Amino acid sequence: GIQVEQSPPDLILQEGANSTLRCNFSDSVNNLQWFHQNPWGQLINLFYIPSGTKQNGRLSATTVATERYSLLYISSSQTTDSGVYFCAVDEETSGSRLTFGEGTQLTVNP
């Protein structure tokens, strides 16, 4: 099956700093999503981005499908950005199940 690798595994920032999270995947995909998991376990949709670039407020994401990676940018980080960020992909042959990476644990300190 498809492999999904996220980096870095852990990231500690001061409030106001910018960061870039990376997701590499091993095969062609139909779907790529970025999620933020809050401390209560809820997975919150950030982006549906199988290719191209999208922006939503302080967050933006870019997926280069031909090179099999995606980047999530967080600008002017806030303490409420803390949590785990997951990348998940649906490979072309899967029939629609998502395969998740192991996540990036982000801590934003005041």
Interface residue with another protein among 86, 89, 91, 106 (CB under 8 A) is 86
Residue 45 binding another protein, by CB under 8 A: yes
Residue 98 binding another protein, by CB under 8 A: yes
Q: What are phi and psi of 27, to 5 degrees?
A: -150, 170
Residue 99 binding another protein, by CB under 8 A: yes
Write down the least CB distance from residue 101 to another protein, Å.
6
Write down the least CB distance from residue 110 to another protein, Å.
25
The first and second tokens of residue 66, run together, are: 């031909």
Number of residues that bind another protein (CB under 8 A): 21
* Strand, helix or coil for residue 38: coil
Amino acid at 89: V
Closest among 102, 97, 100, 94 to 28, alpha carbons compared:
94
Write down the least CB distance from residue 42 to another protein, Å.
5
Report the C-alpha gap between 2 and 16 in whole angstroms: 35
Residue 26 binding another protein, by CB under 8 A: no
Please tell me what DSSP assigns to residue 57.
T
Q: Name the site residues for another protein (rule: CB under 8 A).
A: 4, 31, 33, 35, 40-43, 45, 48, 86, 88, 95-103
